[in-house]
Structure 1
Amino acid sequence: MDFEQSTRQYYADNASVFVENTQNVDMSALYERFLPYIPEQGSILDAGCGSGRDAKHFQSLGHQVAAFDASPELAELAGQLLQQPVSIQTFQQFDKADAYDGIWCCASLLHVPNSELLDVIKRLHKALKQSGVLYMSFKYGTQERVKEGRFFCDQNEQTIQSYLAGFKVLETWVTGDQRPDRESEQWLNLIVQKQER
Structure 2
Amino acid sequence: MSARYDDVLGPLREAYDRSARQRDASGKAAWKQAEREAFLGRLPDGGKLLEIGAGTGQDSVYFRDHGLDVVAVDLSPEMVARCREKGLDARVMDFLGLDFAPGSFDAVYALNCLLHVPDRDLPAVLEAIHRVMRPGGLFFLGVYGGGSLTGEGEFADDEQWPPRFFSFRSDEELVERASRVFEVVDFHAVGADHSRFQSLTLRA
SS of the residue corresponding to residue 97 of structure 2 reads coil
2:182 equivalent to 1:167: yes
Other-structure match for 2:17 = 12
Residue ranges of structure 2 left out of the alignment (5+ in a row) = none
Residue 145 of structure 2 is aligned to residue 145 of structure 1: no
1:144-183: CA deviations, max 9, x gaps? 1212211111122211112432311111111139xxxxx9
Query: In the alignment, what sits opposite 1:32?
Result: 37
Higher helix share: 2
Provide the rounded CA distance (Å) in 1 between the counterparts of 2:133 and 2:124: 15
* Deviation sequence 1:82-107 (CA, Å, 0-9, x none): x1331001101114311111100001
- Aligned to 1:104, the other structure's residue is in SS state strand
Q: Corresponding residue for 2:88? A: 84
- Contact between 1:112 and 1:153, CA under 8 Å: does it hold in 2? yes
Count of residue correspondences? 187
Kept after mapping to 2: 8 A contact 1:44/1:100: yes
When normalised by structure 2's length, the TM-score is 0.85
CA offset digits 1:52-88 (Å, max 9, x no partner): 011000000111111100000001001112x133100
Normalising by the residue count of structure 1, what TM-score does the alignment of the two structures yield?
A: 0.88
Structure 2 counterpart of 1:193: 203
Contact 2:54/2:60, CA 8 A, preserved across alignment: yes
SS at match of 2:130: helix
Query: What residue in structure 1 maps to residue 169 of structure 2?
Result: 155
Q: Letter of the aligned partner of 1:162 in structure 2?
A: R
Q: Secondary structure at the match of 1:92?
A: helix
Query: Which residue of the partner structure matches residue 59 of structure 1?
Result: 64
| 2:49–2:105 Cα contact (<8 Å) kept | yes
Instruction: Confirm or deny: 8 A CA contact 2:126 2:181 kept in the other structure.
Output: no
Deviations 1:114-169 (A, max 9, x none): 11110010011111111001101111133112122111111222111124323111
Q: Output the amino acid matched with 2:190.
A: T
Task: Decide whether the 8 Å contact of 2:184 with 2:203 is kept in 1.
Answer: yes
Instruction: Name the CA distance, whole Å, in 2 between partners of 1:19 and 1:136.
Output: 21
Alpha-carbon offset, residue 46 of structure 1: 0.7
- Residue 158 of structure 1 aligns to a residue whose secondary structure is helix
RMSD of Structure 2 on Structure 1 (CA): 1.9
State the AA in 2 paired with 1:5.
Answer: G
Structure-1 separation of matches of 2:28 and 2:172: 32
Task: Give the aligned residue type for 2:196.
Answer: Q
Q: Distance in 1 between matches of 2:61 and 2:140?
A: 16
Aligned equivalent of 1:180: none
Q: Is the 8 A contact 2:110 2:141 kept in 1?
A: yes
